[in-house]
Structure 1
Amino acid sequence: MTCFPTPPSHSSLNPPPMCGRYVTVSSIQAVEQRFNVQAKESWKANTNVSHGDHAPVVASDRPKEVQLMQFGFTPGWAKKQYYMINARAEGDKNAENDPSYTGAMGILDKPMFRKAIRSQRCLVVADAFIEGPEREKLSKPYVLYPREGQRPFALAGIWDEWCDPSTDERVRSFAVLTTVSNALTQAVGHHRAPVILDPDREREWLHPDTPLQDVASMLGPWEARQFNAYPISPSIRDPRRNGSHLLQAVGPRIWPEFTYEIHNTIDVFGMGESPSRKRKHASAQNQERQEQKDHSAASPLTWGHQGSLFD
């Protein structure tokens, strides 16, 4: 039996139950180099990856290849598509969304995910992700991105292949795993966070024979200070919209980032600098530092740099 996937239109899908958008704009060459893989097909930059979109992943069945899969997980045994964008690592074990939770990983036993979490894991290629407060959601969105240019990175994912029994269409789909919140996602106002894999453990995540206890050890929160965030326009709520303008900042970063310029000057004032001139010089230096701080805090992240699909 031969099946071919047919991507659904966004209008035919129900909206996701929580914020589930992310960004993938790195060039194909950058993705190949970062993950030591080859791309068999091309894709376009997407600043608003949404449920139903096809996006690049590196999956356990072809760990040396980038595949395009549909964002929105459906298990192979299902009679209909589910479009599950998130698989909550702790499941219903942490109903209060306590960020200090260290208990059992409910995903290991959930019928929806227990097969995939054991042997069908994937790296979801991302450059940033979008979150909003628990109540306002994408009415007050933030883009969260890795500091110091450490992108693309890998969101922890699971995948499966489902065949529509009525049409024989075959769909390979994935979900992003979520975990408890950290200091940054708490600052944004969100109660959970996606699982971001340590680059040193990505191949371990992909290997189908990795012991389950080792898989579970990768499902904790990431170091918050490795990322930062700034607010963007709620225009990103519309999954049909795309483009770098959606990522323009509309406010300051959560954590200020500074770029310092050091100037060495030698001033000669006869027998020495007068107290009034010293005060004037110090005031000018303080003003310059404040201007640099204000610029850094309010300036948007630049996406159109070398290595971006927007170039």
Structure 2
Amino acid sequence: MCGRMAVTVPIDAMAHVFDAAPSNDLPQTPDYNVCPTTQVAVVSGGADRARRLEPMRWGLIPHWYTKPNDGPLLINARAETVLEKPAFKSAVHDRRVLVVASGFYEWTKDSEGGRDPWYITREDGAPLAFAGLWQAWTDPKTGETWHTVAILTTAANDAMQEIHHRMPVIVEQKDCGLWLGEAGKGAARLMRAAPEDALRWHRVDRAVNSNRASGPELIEPFDPES
């Protein structure tokens, strides 16, 4: 799965990398502990519209929810079943975006059940582009409309299996147009695990286990023996 991430790329650099015009209300960077229900930067686009870098709430809210917590918190969507789930099956055809991050966190357990966090990035140091699905949700009480997003996940590749059995679907730069719907059909073939050598990871301090933690030290390598 993907339940926490870090974004250290400046907004202008993010816009340049993905050739997207930035909106004025993007979440500030750097943020070393991006949690569900907060705003994340996504790249939207399509065959008939220019790319935009815009904010969306992480945690897709289906249109039939009467309030944000009317059901499960949908921060992830499984690639294997996304076409079957009512919350996602229309979005996967018509509402695909890229969720931009520098890295993400996963956890393993030690012999006593303690949660050890790992920070995972691209091997080449480039920003990550997670395959995302979005949904507009309108609050029936206030009339306010939110744009909300979930990150697609798939079975982890063999290398990643030592950390977690799931991983986010990562879209390569050359495939961004296909995922966004700019380059015709065939986006389904992108819903797969990244190559074995695409990612690297290191242990980080358990401080990140708290969703209130912040600061660059959260992504620094940690040696439990030191």
TM-score band by shorter chain is: 0.7 to 0.9
Structure 2 counterpart SS, 1:52: coil
Asked if residue 71 in structure 1 is aligned to residue 47 in structure 2, the reply is no
Spell out structure 1 runs of 4+ moving beyond 3 A.
60-63, 134-138, 208-211
Structure with greater proportional helix content? 1
Structure 2 counterparts to residues 82-93 of structure 1, below 5 A: 82-90=72-80
Quote the offset at 1:83 in angstroms. Answer: 3.1
Quote the offset at 1:134 in angstroms. Answer: 7.5
Asked if residue 200 in structure 1 is aligned to residue 174 in structure 2, the reply is yes
Quote the offset at 1:51 in angstroms. Answer: 0.8
* Per-residue Cα deviation, 1:26-68 (whole angstroms, up to 9, x for no partner): 0112111110012122432111111111011012466421101
Aligned to 1:250: 222
Where does structure 2 lack aligned partners over 5 or more consecutive residues? none
Q: 1:23 to 1:144 in 2, by over 3 A?
A: same
Quote the offset at 1:156 in angstroms. Answer: 0.5
Quote the offset at 1:122 in angstroms. Answer: 0.3
Structure 2 counterpart SS, 1:56: strand
Aligned to 2:18: 35
Answer 1 or 2: higher relative contact order, Cα 8 Å, separation at least 6. 2
Asked whether the equivalents of residues 2 and 168 of structure 2 are also in contact (C-alpha less than 8 Å), the reply is: no
Aligned to 1:239: 211
Q: 1:71 to 1:137 in 2, by over 3 A?
A: farther
Asked whether the equivalents of residues 184 and 228 of structure 1 are also in contact (C-alpha less than 8 Å), the reply is: no
Distance in 2 of aligned mates of 1:138 and 1:72? 27
1:147 partner amino acid: E
Rg larger in 1 or in 2? 1
Quote the offset at 1:80 in angstroms. Answer: 2.8
Aligned to 1:125: 100
Structure 2 counterpart SS, 1:112: coil
Distance in 2 of aligned mates of 1:138 and 1:34? 38
Taking only aligned residues, the RMSD between alpha carbons, in angstroms, comes to 2.4
1:200 partner amino acid: K
Give the number of equivalent residue pairs.
Answer: 217
Distance in 1 of aligned mates of 2:9 and 2:214? 15
Q: 1:138 to 1:148 in 2, by over 3 A?
A: farther
Where does structure 1 lack aligned partners over 5 or more consecutive residues? 1-17, 91-105, 253-297, 299-311
TM superposition score normalised by structure 2: 0.87
Task: Give % identity.
Answer: 31
Asked whether the equivalents of residues 2 and 76 of structure 2 are also in contact (C-alpha less than 8 Å), the reply is: no
Distance in 1 of aligned mates of 2:50 and 2:132? 13
Asked if residue 228 in structure 1 is aligned to residue 200 in structure 2, the reply is yes
Quote the offset at 1:184 in angstroms. Answer: 2.8
Asked if residue 191 in structure 1 is aligned to residue 180 in structure 2, the reply is no
2:167 partner amino acid: A
* Per-residue Cα deviation, 1:168-196 (whole angstroms, up to 9, x for no partner): 221111011000111232122x1111000
Distance in 2 of aligned mates of 1:46 and 1:139? 22
Distance in 1 of aligned mates of 2:180 and 2:93? 10
Asked if residue 141 in structure 1 is aligned to residue 117 in structure 2, the reply is yes
Asked whether the equivalents of residues 21 and 130 of structure 1 are also in contact (C-alpha less than 8 Å), the reply is: yes
Distance in 2 of aligned mates of 1:230 and 1:73? 29
Asked whether the equivalents of residues 2 and 151 of structure 2 are also in contact (C-alpha less than 8 Å), the reply is: no
Quote the offset at 1:224 in angstroms. Answer: 2.2
Structure with greater proportional strand content? 2
Distance in 2 of aligned mates of 1:209 and 1:145? 27
TM superposition score normalised by structure 1: 0.65
